Chains A and B, each alone.
Chain A
Amino acid sequence: MSSHRLEIRVKPRPGLLNPEGKAIHHALAALGWAAVHDVRVGKVIYVDMDADTPDAALVEAEAMCRKILANPVTEDFEISLVAAEGGVPS
């Protein structure tokens, strides 16, 4: 058993309206960043867990995403293993 850190990126599904991104895009444009043509907002979730192997941790993380971390109707997800030193990045 060893400790693993997973970085889970929950992303808004393409094609759906992303209101947060739209509002931020507008704000950036108003502040002078006219070169921006789209903004979409998701979230990053860090999970530190014990598993026998990194692959086993990945399998569990995928299950977590399907069950609760991502809304399958409106969100996609990507999972990577990242180096863990100290606590969750601040």
Chain B
Amino acid sequence: MKMAVITFPGSNCDYDLYKAVQQVGGEATFVWHRQRRLHGYDAVMLPGGFSYGDYLRAGAIARLSPVMESVVAFARSGGPVLGVCNGFQILCEAGLLPGALVRNASLRFESRDVHLRVERQDTLFTSEYDAGAVLRVPIAHGDGNYQADDDTLERLEGEGRVVFRYVDPTGTVTPDANPNGSWGNIAGIVSADGNVLGMMPHPERAMESLLGSADGVGVFTSLVKSLSTAAV
């Protein structure tokens, strides 16, 4: 399973994603943002960080990088794309996912563990989780507040495209469980065709109990499994 981890100037979670893929037996390659062609990859990952310093708008400059044309083409042809944190922001700026991530409601950077409920267990990225599973995963972001217009939000909920939601440890959606003001406690969504996932929390940082939680492993094993099944 060959995964491309796209690196923009300022990405700083590329290494963590790389290690996560390796941990589940996949093969990861760093792809520098200036590279125009993407061939031979089974999946593409956009890591977290501060591409271009988050100057102007988070992800706004990155999404115009040479490599993004290929990423968009890959996604439109059905290739799996995972965007984490800044990666999610880039996917929204690039129009591969609806809505936008704006400044956290607290106006501060929020860095801590949150709990997520897996809303859909039938996606490429969540097949290894039980439906309704509650995961403990770190967040670390200043602009993680998911917002969209009413039509979009209605559609997302109606079509079941919310994949992860912020909850309390018992799995209940509460205002306190929402770290950034995201509408509907939305933490991660999937595209209409189901192959592009964007999420603000960092599953690649929840791969080992030594570091606090191994609940993120499922995202990567799901992807690897989905791809091997598809390859058959």
Contact = CB atoms under 8 A, between A and B. Distances in A.
Contacts of A30: 64
Interface in B39-88: 52-53, 55-56, 61, 64
A55 interface: no
Interface residues of A, number: 8
Interface residues of B, number: 6
A20 B53 contact: yes
A36 interface: no
B53 A27 contact: no
A23 B64 contact: no
Contacts of B61: 23-24, 27
Contacts of A19: 53, 55
Nearest to B56: A24
A88 B220 CA distance: 46
A27 B64 CA distance: 9
A43 B56 CA distance: 11
Contacts of B56: 20, 23-24, 27, 41
B107 to A, nearest CB: 14
12 contacts: A19-B53, A20-B53, A20-B55, A23-B52, A23-B53, A23-B55, A23-B56, A23-B61, A24-B55, A24-B61, A30-B64, A41-B55
